[in-house]
Chain A
Amino acid sequence: MSTDELETDLTRQTENSPRELLTRTFFFLCAALSIVTTISIVVLLVTEAAKFFTITAPLMGVTGETASLVDFLTGTTWQINSGEFGVLALVSATLMITIGSAVIAIPLGVATAIYLSEYASQRARSVLKPALEILAGVPTVVYGFFALIYITPALATVIPQIGTFNMLSASIVVGIMIIPMVASISEDAMSAVPDDLRQAGYGMGATKFDVATGIVVPAALSGIFSSFILALSRAIGETMAVTIAAGSRAQFLNPVNPASFLEGSLPMTAAMVQLLLGDITGGGLAYRSLFAIGLVLFVITLVMNVISDFVAQRYREEY
């Protein structure tokens, strides 16, 4: 640009020129889109779910078949063909996946975080961190296939009575999938613990083990807990792996009974996929039940994300 061009440019362009206003408006609209998305999700789920329940359907002007809200929330049988919509059957399956994956991901993720933050050399870290990211980057449909084709037969050699579709292999792959999430957020929290505390520990004669378990982990506890909640909320929303590996027959299982992990059931997300694959007419009862499950799922994950945020903010140690 020559000098006179620069001069005109500089003198003419002010914060309120049409160009500034136009670009500013465009950027603002982009940011506002995220709010529009959230509002659309909430409005859509609430209105469609409201059309599903007998108690709210008249308000929405729906005259067709509806389902009872009480039965939906307390029923333990999910049989669309016979009109039984008991979401607890699905919730119990989702809960099992969550518990199963937590058993795998929480200890392994925290141990990984401690290793990466306290023990690993710079070089080891630069190799291990991308390698862990791969675990989260593999498409979930691939994990589902792994669980069905390789993990279940391998488990069957140890536990012969395991079903072709079972919660155990689904939980294992979901657990592996969320290890990086636990590990990276926990590691961030541990790295944020000031070195002074570690040095003070060593100064008192503590070993590396003492420092890691007695100082760093307690000091980073809020971050570690928030990583658990976030990762489990991911496990709850996980769809394809459980759809492929956990089966298609909904049944109410006792989530704390280890034997029920050998059977298959239908988690919420898998039930949604199954509904879609069946003959589904827009506006029918099955179509609206989709949004009712979606609402339950959305509320659970949203609450967990908010709690995770709250824990991370509220209980953070300030240094």
Chain B
Amino acid sequence: MATETEHGEIEGFGQVSRTVGTVFRYLLIAATMFGIVTLAVLLVYVANDAIRPLTAGPGWYLTYFFTLVVPTLLVGAYVRTRDRAAFSFGVFLIGLLVVSLMFSGGVGLLVVDVVPPLVALSFALGLAVPAAVAVVLTRNSHRISFTTRLVATSLAFYLSLFGLPGPIGDAAGLPQVVPSFVQFVQSIPVIPVDWMMVAAVVGGGSAAAVGAYVAGVRDARSGLYAGLAAFAVSVASAVVGPFVGLNPVPAVVVTAVALVPTSTYAWRGAFGEDGTPIGLGFAATVVGGALVGAAAVEAFGFAGPQSWVDWQFLTSSHSGSAVDAGLYPAIGGSILLMSTVAALSFPLGVGAAVYLEEYAPDNALTRFVDVNISNLAGVPSVVYGLLGLGVFVTYLGQSAGTVLVGGATLALLILPIVIISSREAIRSVPSDLRQASYGMGATRWQTVRNVVLPEAFPGILTGTILALGRAIGETAPLIMIGAPNVVFSLPTALNSKVSAMPLQVYAWSSLFASEDFYTKAVPAGVVVLLAVLLAMNSVAIVLRNKFERTG
């Protein structure tokens, strides 16, 4: 096609100069690097302001150099030359430990300050019992018709969560006759100690996950043993915790959420089939080096960097002076907002994607929905904020700036992204699989549930996590729905006022603008926000890579 326009160049045939090409090439490289280098420089500046590595003494650096850096380099080089797979397993293991520790911090925040252990326990039981009923009903699905099962399952959940006659009766003014199972649990006179309830809920959940994982890679019996062992370890940690300076509840949470899953993965990677124990050795060197370094620094009394990102910053709330200001309510707010956003946007987004890919007839309406979704993805976030303000706050009468309104607004904002990425994941499922399923007489829903969704799940999950990463950095919609700039306590319910990490950073950098905040609290907040984003994105990337290898 382009031959006419090529006239100029073609006339210059025979006078080829390498200079132009080389200069052009280097210009392109420079252009590509410009944005990356600029951002890298800015990140170095902000990290320097927040962490202040230059304030640490030479003794501190020397100690860590000998306990952490040298062993890591030596063992790392050795493991890498011996077995590359083992090396990447070791690196992955360290990453897993770091990310799961961050995650356990979030869970700990939830069970310590947001949800009282008794309420958590009652709701866990209140959901587990009807779920068990549903499983039993599904097992016997060939004997009971679908409608009966649906009614029975809904009834079980309703009874367990609301009792009789529940909210329906409230509307008609009827008194509560039968208390719900949740209320029943909460009214039991003998209340176990907090850490026992936390161990039951969090430890039970983690033990179930570990058990299911081991049962998947080995067999059901080892899965059961592994689950029991995991639960025992979680419970034991509450007893051991106080001896190493941890309260029982945080000890249980850290063990159940971070240590147990990481060690399960480490055990399998090191001693399972095709295991690589030296990879575990590398991870142990790094973690051990860090611990030994910390102990040595403590023993010799070397001063570390006077970082603004410290325990005080992470656990205190806003203050008029930048040195005392902290991010705690904002971190908790972000966690609650993200939970709400995930709970709303995941089912809705995946549902819409399934409809458009598997069910929708090829007609004008479908094409309209299609165009509509891609246009919604381009609507500025501040307009979504207006939508939240106008619809949820003004018309539906929700109070401004609550977890529910913020979560719903952000969920609408990322819904198009979730739909688009889920559609891509669903589209990449080979149609052979679908045809095989239909060929065996499966209905559309059976095909979707048993073939399409399991195949597409890693891709859907990756897309959802990336979308959540976008939502966690959004500030404008939260301002529009009237989220307060300063919150001094964690939100404890869906209708309590919420702040979020980016909102707090914005408040510090514009409403409390002063040299003090610019150089202390804001850089620290930025570093924490970016660290959370980095953790989320690396989880998504690891999932994507795993998915691409197998898929």
Contact = CB atoms under 8 A, between A and B. Distances in A.
B387 A276 contact: no
Interface in A1-57: 4-5, 8-10, 13-15, 17-20, 22-24, 26-35, 37-38, 40-41, 44-45, 48
Interface in B25-40: 25, 27-29, 31-32, 34-36, 38-39
B391 A33 contact: no
Given A35-B369, A214-B5, A240-B506, A142 B482 contact: no
Contacts of B382: 237, 239, 269, 272-273, 294, 297
A115 B71 CA distance: 39
A34 B386 contact: no
A298 B476 contact: no
A4 B141 CA distance: 12
Interface stretch (A58-66, A69-77, A125-133): A125-133
A145 B526 contact: yes
A132 B111 CA distance: 38
Contact of B42 (A146, A234, A282, A317): A146
Contacts of B25: 115, 119, 209
B139 to A, nearest CB: 10
Contacts of A119: 25, 28-29
B39 A44 contact: no
Interface stretch (A81-89, A105-113, A155-163, A256-264): A105-113
A176 B38 contact: yes
A230 interface: yes
Contact of B510 (A17, A112, A244): A244
Contacts of A22: 150
Contact of B522 (A5, A14, A115, A145): A145
Given A149-B518, A305-B378, A10 B441 contact: yes
Interface in B437-482: 440-446, 448, 469-470, 472-476, 479-480, 482
B9 interface: yes
A233 B374 CA distance: 13
B383 A27 contact: no
B267 interface: no
B496 to A, nearest CB: 20
B415 A33 contact: yes
A130 B371 CA distance: 27
A302 B379 contact: yes
B416 A237 contact: no
B2 interface: yes
A142 B21 contact: no
B443 A111 contact: no
A34 B372 contact: yes
B348 A30 contact: yes
A197 B6 CA distance: 12
B282 to A, nearest CB: 23
Given A145-B522, A244-B510, A273-B479, A34 B369 contact: yes
A30 B36 CA distance: 38
Nearest to A22: B150
Nearest to B7: A214
A34 B375 CA distance: 10
Given A13-B443, A48-B390, A233 B27 contact: no
Given A20-B444, A137-B469, A269-B382, A317 B1 contact: yes
Given A30-B348, A207-B16, A294-B383, A40 B35 contact: no
A20 B373 contact: no
Contacts of B5: 214, 218
B34 A27 contact: no
Contact of B446 (A13, A219, A236, A237): A13
A30 B359 contact: no
B6 A209 contact: no
Given A214-B5, A239-B382, A301-B380, A209 B522 contact: no
Nearest to A177: B35
Contacts of B389: 276, 290
B306 interface: no
Q: Which of A137, A213, A233 has the most CB of B within 10 A?
A: A137
A237 B36 contact: no
Nearest to B36: A131
A144 B394 CA distance: 30
A31 B446 contact: no
Interface of B: 1-2, 5-6, 9-10, 13, 16, 20-21, 24-25, 27-29, 31-32, 34-36, 38-39, 42, 45-46, 141-142, 146-147, 150, 347-352, 354-356, 358-360, 368-369, 371-376, 378-383, 386-387, 389-391, 393-394, 412, 415-416, 419, 440-446, 448, 469-470, 472-476, 479-480, 482, 485, 502, 505-506, 509-511, 518, 522, 526, 529-530, 533, 537, 541
Of all A-B residue pairs in the complex, the 9 with the closest CB atoms, nearest first, are A237-B380, A139-B473, A30-B351, A111-B31, A27-B355, A115-B28, A239-B476, A30-B352, A209-B21
Given A19-B146, A273-B476, A309-B374, 7 more contacts: A10-B442, A38-B372, A38-B376, A134-B39, A137-B473, A150-B42, A204-B6
30 contacts: A15-B443, A18-B147, A23-B445, A27-B359, A28-B355, A30-B354, A32-B369, A34-B415, A108-B31, A119-B25, A130-B541, A139-B475, A141-B509, A207-B21, A215-B2, A215-B6, A219-B2, A237-B381, A239-B382, A239-B476, A240-B476, A243-B476, A244-B506, A283-B394, A297-B382, A298-B379, A298-B383, A302-B378, A304-B378, A305-B378
